[in-house]
Structure 1
């Protein structure tokens, strides 16, 4: 019997950073591309810790037609970065902690409202669908909507 080939249960912290963890998940391809286009890749691979509310690929598909392509244009890099930073909170925050908050202070400077309904957490109307995905420099929560920050 070869015990080396048995799959390991994730009882130890993930050694991958947030972006590599998102890429390995397979549901966050568009999010990963957006992070790179916005120039935020190095930051989110850094020490952290960060908590990311990452829209799934299906969430990005819900954006109005052409919106993502517009955001991905080089001249819109700052707007894309602001939008993505609205999905990031400093620190390592699990859903159990976040559910106790009324709002989350995001890296872009705006607060995003938090609601706990029937033990499900939402941030600015986006439901957390994949909670507490650990990484070496924070935690990732998959959400079902791309949140758009209000203009400052």
Structure 2
């Protein structure tokens, strides 16, 4: 019988329906043991589900940072996650006067190091059901197992569900989430 942690990690890894790995080159890279050639920003740009995130990363001046050596773990909200924010929130954050606030929100979705699904599940188990992840922004996210997957809770009490995992990039890993997290 397989260990429940292994089953959950495999289940999470199979949830990756986004376009990060949909291109033939990305699929071939994922199938091999070679390191992916696309960085975090390139991976997000290749996904039709992350156009708003890419625009926000550009507006916040974080492109060079997220193209850097890393490694980084990025919890990437989808376009639908940004669309679910209160009316006008995205437009306001994208204004040049709000660049620092936007950078704070975006870096709240980034953790230093490469934390794959199996590692995250292990951290949750070791923490007695939750794990605290310190973001690059400086504040914490709480990860828990919920409904057969991983849920992240932000400082405001909002919860994001991880919908795709282990989208490996040359400088880290992307996990797709269904909610924008707020510090």
TM-score > 0.5, shorter chain as reference:
yes
How much has 1:118 moved relative to structure 2?
Answer: 4.1
Structure 1 segment 75-114 matched on structure 2, within 5 A = 75-99=97-121, 100-101=123-124, 102-114=131-143
Are 2:82 and 1:48 equivalent residues in the alignment?
no
Deviations 1:88-144 (A, max 9, x none): 000011012112231110001101111112440111111110111000000001100
Secondary structure of 1:115's aligned partner:
strand
Tell me the equivalent position of 1:116: 145
- CA distance in structure 2 between the partners assigned to 1:57 and 1:19 by the alignment: 15
Question: Tell me, which stretches of 5 or more residues in structure 2 are unaligned?
Answer: 1-23, 125-130, 154-158
CA distance in 1, matches of 2:28, 2:134: 36
- Which residue is equivalent to 1:130? 164
1: CA distance between counterparts of 2:162 and 2:92? 26
Aligned-partner Cα distance in 2 for 1:145–1:77: 20
Aligned residues: 145
Moved over 2 A (4+): 7-10
Determine the C-alpha separation between the residues in 2 that align with 1:137 and 1:64. 32
* Alignment pair present for 1:13 and 2:13: no
Give the distance between the partners of 1:60 and 1:92, measured in 2 at CA: 24
1:9 positional shift = 6.2
Q: Distance in 2 between matches of 1:73 and 1:83?
A: 14
- Matching residue of 1:62: 84
TM-score, normalised via structure 2 length:
0.75
